[in-house]
Amino acid sequence: MADIIDGKALAEDVVAKVKVETATLAKSDVTPGLAVVIVGEDPASQVYVASKSRRAKECGFHSVQHSLPVETSEHALVSLVEDLNADPAIHGILVQLPLPEHIDETRIIQAIDPEKDVDGFHFINVGRLGTGALDSAFVPCTPAGAMLMLERVRGKDLSGLSAVVIGRSNIVGKPMANLLLAANATVTIAHSRTKDLPALARTADILVAAVGRPEMIRGDWVKLGATVIDVGINRIPAPEKGEGKTRLVGDVAFAEAKESAGAITPVPGGVGPMTIAMLMANTLTSAFRTAGLEPPAF
């Protein structure tokens, strides 16, 4: 039976450290500042933004939220980002995705100052991560959190271990693969076009699922003793709870996989809580860099 990697507890550890280091920065008259921008009324985005802003205030940050109407023009949004780039009180800028269809997401992300890009999506930060320049990169929050969970089980040096990442998105799959490479794992990126995906998954000492398909990875895909990191968050019908009710599941069939895995992240309560915790850590790092100080390690 697998050990369950508790994302809630680890996220609280990260946030606790952020609070301590924020208090340390205050002695230098620096307060980490996070600006979150949301365009439109998407319900899921509203929930995410509210939780990010709440966490930032809890950490002692200067927290700013810009809620813009859905008809906001691309030009107006770029102007706001440029204003935030120029604001010395802001160390992190996060534009909540997805954006309305009339706005070019790539243009907005690339308008953010790379030194304030705490989501890690700017091409400069993508390039830093891809070339192994982790000390200067901002790493996307979800893979950064997943990596921290993995380190708790396997340590920082993954030499000799085989890692399979299922999913090739720019937000999770590709940066996760780069982080695993930087930790000396032997990495394969798999996806919907991969031949005999179950057989490949069974070779993995570390299996990362980031495909967005509920319970796609079955228990017999998991090598005995493997560490399974489930990044998926999928809402599926739950008629057992009542008519119209739903529940959250990952990309991994948890009940099956935990029988083979050595350690596994649950959904919910796994990678999810780590994402916002790492956003706080990235914002703190930006504030330290701006102050000319060495950022703390997480």
Q: From the CB of residue 73, how many other CB atoms can be counted at a distance below 10 Å?
A: 11
> DSSP letter at 156?
S
Assess whether 135 carries a catalytic annotation: no
Catalytic residue among 116, 117, 119, 230: 119
With CA atoms as reference, report the closest residue to 60 among 22, 16, 34, 27.
Answer: 22
Assess whether 96 carries a catalytic annotation: yes
Q: How far apart are CA 298 and CA 287, in angstroms?
A: 15
Q: How far apart are CA 223 and CA 203, in angstroms?
A: 6
Catalytic residue among 17, 52, 116, 223: 52
Catalytic residue among 96, 116, 230, 258: 96
Assess whether 119 carries a catalytic annotation: yes
Q: Which residues of 178-198 are buried (b: 16+ CB within 10 A; e: fewer)?
A: bbbbbbebbbbbbeeebeebe
Ordered strands of the 186-190 beta sheet: 3-4, 263-264, 227-230, 206-209, 162-166, 186-190
Q: What is the DSSP string of 161-223?
A: -EEEEE---TTTHHHHHHHHHHTT-EEEEE-TT-TTHHHHHTT-SEEEE-S--TT-B-GGGSP
Q: How far apart are CA 3 and CA 153, in angstroms?
A: 9
Hey, which residues are catalytic here?
Answer: 52, 96, 119
